[in-house]
Structure 1
Amino acid sequence: MWQALKHNYNKIQKRISDFKIGFKIALFYLMITIISISVSSYLYQKIYLNVTLSKVSEVSVQTLNSISSNIDLMMDNVNNYSQMVIANNDLQEALRNGSIYLDLNTQRRVRAYLIQLIQAIPSISSVYIFDQTGNKYSVGNLSANNFKLNSIQEAVWYNEVIKANGAYILRLNGEGAFEIDPDKNFISLIRVVRDLESIKPIGILIINVPEQAFIQAYSNILNNYKTDIVLLDEHNKSIVKKSESNQYDLNRILSKFNNQKSGYKFEAIMHNKYLVSYLKENKYGLKIVSFMPFKELLNETVTMIYIGVIIILINSILLFIGSIFIARMITIPIKKLLKSMKGIENNEFNEVKIKAGNNELGRLRDGYNIMIQEIQKQIKNVIEEQRIKRKAELNVLQAQIKPHFLYNTLDSITSLAISERVEDVCQLTDALGSYYRTSLSNGKEIITIKEEIELVKNYLIIQKIRYGEMFSVTYDIDGRVVNNKILKLVLQPLAENALYHGIKAMGEPGSIKISAKYDNHSIRLIVEDDGVGMSTEKITNLLGKGNESTNDSFGIRGTIERLRIFYGQEDLFRIESKPGSGTKVTITIPFNVHDNEGELR
């Protein structure tokens, strides 16, 4: 086992020793950078998160205090209004008489006063007044807070409120005195109405405060953390009907705070972590609990954490870039020399430019550049010899093509003369003359595409006179390419091939289409027919990739060779054909080739 470990260690050590110097330096700094980023980011995240959570927790308790203040203010207002109702002279007079219904005028004044009170105070939904004889008088939203007991004395809290000596008590939903709304809760403020003169009880006052009033007390001051607020009465029952209290296991949560007035804890509830804040409101005996999802706190802190990490990352990147810069100062001269040497394998003989003094590296550079200069001289000599040779070959091929066309044309004239078609012979001879005037072009071998199209047109006029309705011809010429330069007699052999080996061989009338199109800084010259087509083997022979060669294919093969020699490319010519499906020949040449002297390039 020890030998195996030693062997692996030696193997790794050898591999590391084979690394480039610049790579070793960069790798070393990269390892330092990664360790630095990891440790710094972890510490920054922990410290910032702890500080943020502490501040958010304190703010959360402060928020509960604000909610408590709002609730106190609202309930103080309700309490004050209850005292105003009790002190109302008309109400005092009606209750002293033993029944609120004895005097209708007094009853109307009391009703008007209570209605005005409810309209002015949205936090009160309904008001109930009970006299000593058990009569009930009420105003407000009675359908939502309908009193269901036969008499006020049946209420479970009746004796308690009597003993309170005029102080109020709070009960959720009247503690059984009212029918319960399945959708909404309310808090009942209950107190004895006493005679202001004799201080004796003369009735009971109940003011119902809807849950919406409590919701409004905290809805405007909640933070953006998707916090849930739960309001509890003194019996730990939720004041808000549709709150999230059922999902939080309140009994367990409240037991964690024991008799604390306020505090906060992090608790796991239903597989989620929450910041739970608690406040016990002393004045009215209510409890306020907030539940803030921990992931929301993380979302709040993640921006600052990212900013801190990015700053650390930028500093580390700058350190890493500095290490690369130092490595490059050492290795770039060596890399340039190696790159130049590598280029020799791809026939690239370039001198190397290295900023070095008269040291070993500088002398190596000078010796290498002298060698490259000598090689470049030899290559230029060879290229010039090949250019002269290629030009001679091109002249021979072109000389072979011209007689080939002339022989075929003279055969056509002879056939027409034998047939005594004198007018056709004159028209054909005129077309032939126009053809040769354009073809000779003062000895130039490079003409415009417009001139080449004229050559083809004159050629096909000649053939049309001879063959009549055997074929039709159409032209699709892009005006942007007509002045582009091209080798002379490129399209004519293709048109001849389409006529003789495509349509004529089919034995029935056919069509020829000649196109010249601009295509992405290139020109596509297309000659297509709907004749007999050709096999893949024949296409291969025409493209010069087969061994078979016939006189019939000499014109098109000669054209292919001329194009290859002139442009120095192998992929200019494409033939698409299938037996019985016609033939399409496409030549692709560069756009805007200007060579007025006809020199090869």
Structure 2
Amino acid sequence: MDMERKVYFSPSVLSYHREFGSPEHRRLVSSAMKGNLRGKLLEKYYSLSINKKIVFSFIVAFSVLLALLALLTYKISSSILIQKAVENTEQNLRLVSEKLDLILDNAENYSKIVITDNTVQDVLSKPLTDDPLINYQRYIAVQDSLKGIADTKTFINAVIIYDRLGRIYDSGSLEGVEDVSRAYFDKFAGSAYGLEWADTSASNYWQGTSKYDVIKLFQKFNSDRVGQTLGLVELTIMESYIADQYRNIDIGKNGSIFIVNKRGLISSNTDKRELYKSVADQPYFFWVTAHEGGEQFRDASGRELLVVSRYFPRLDWTIVGTVPIREIMKDNDILTQRFLALGIVFVLTGVILSFVIATSITKPLNKIKATVKNVQEGNLDVWLDLKSRDEIGALAREFNKMVDRTKTLMSSMVEEQKRKREFELAALQAQINPHFLYNTLESICALADLKRNADIVAVVNRLASFYRGVLSKGNAIIPMEDEIHITRTYLEILKVRYGAQLDYSFDIEMNVYRCQTVKLLLQPIVENSVYHGLKNKRGKGLISVRAALDGEILKIVVEDNGVGMKPETLEGIFKPLLDQGRQRSFGLKSTDERIKLYFGMEYGLSVSSEYGAGTTVTVKLPAIRMQEGTE
């Protein structure tokens, strides 16, 4: 525990632990510093005027609301833009897929034209002759037929026929044709009909000095007459022709469409540098091969992408479209910037509006404060003229009532002073103790600053209730029930001022309430306990009021746990005072004399006290019950 205190409160130890201390000590130091900062910020906030607090609160509220609204708007609009991009890209990929299907369908149809061509069927059905010229003429006839078929469609790059005897026929302009038929003859063996598409690869022939990237269609064909296998037709389509189908499709300035096979190799791309490159290491690869639709990914370079895929089963391809997220969000960023600019205008408007509202609230409060100060200085000829019907207006009306009642009460006291002896004059004057009134009004001002309107109304009502009890319709003798009510109200008002430092309790027997007592019997005793016993005490103060009948005697005990009295002070309580001033007129001696005045010399007060421990005041009264109609 000692070490913890040093960590929190000793600057030298803080410095030591910051540099050399354990992680636990550093954590405690950090916590202490944060606590200090939080405390300073709260202290700064509490020191602000209500006007500044309202303006500050409006700024914070508007700023937080704007930030949340901007974030929410950005999230929603981003989601909409991304979904729209997914739908557009899906539509484009569907268009690419349909174009590919059309190309492949046409290629398969032209393959059927090749294998059903009369010249092809006739020549490949006949065996070779011994005459080379006839064989050459037949070869040229097939070549011309293939060339005629290939020339009718631009998407067909070449047509090649491999017969069962190993002879190769092509559509012309081909050199170094590599015989790849054996693998397909074996693959199609045993089937009457065989057709297969091969993935993008380099051509198995030369055109001039180059080989081209092509996709290939292989189809076995038979004799129309005898049904025997005649050969294998190979029809090739340039990969560049496939890429041309989506070259001009716009999915964004930096967006791209490409085709990838199941091994992760790019089978088609408008950028030929990317052809045959692997994307298997990209985070999105396994997703696109297993799903269709759109998803967000961060590629191997860290760039955020929207990836949309569509499966093309005829070649076991996946058509992929990628669009950078930043490009999709470009318009959204502009919208957000404009929204924030507009939001700043709203915040500034809100600040001006909050200043106007704050002024409308604090102006009447300042007026109340100035009026209360006048009352505190002794001027009761004041009147708060506020037209509002809100809590502040209610406070002003209650304040006016309180001041009016105070003036009435003071006038009543002056009238009573003319008819009663000097002692009663002093007692009644003390009923309106300016010190108590001013402290109560200061408490009301403090509550007004804190905007605790409900507490203000409660205090004003209690103060009014207290003075109603004090007036008691001019009666000097009142029931104990009224006296307890006056005392309790007085303590409730003090409770507002002293808060948790003051507590009290009442233990009153029911048969006591209808007994007679002199007005303001207990309040001076309680006041004496508070201001001379508890005010200078450290810790929580407690006042206990107990009342019970002992035969024909009413015994009341007021006990506190205050600082108590020294023996010499206790001995001088009931001795004659040289100066019965206003501040002492409601002291214990004055109360004792009033009791003796009304009920006889055998009644009155007795006091016991232990210095440093508390004081007990015992009141002895005759148990006289109030008569009906005397209240």
TM-score tier (shorter): 0.3 to 0.5
The normalised TM-score by structure 2 is 0.44
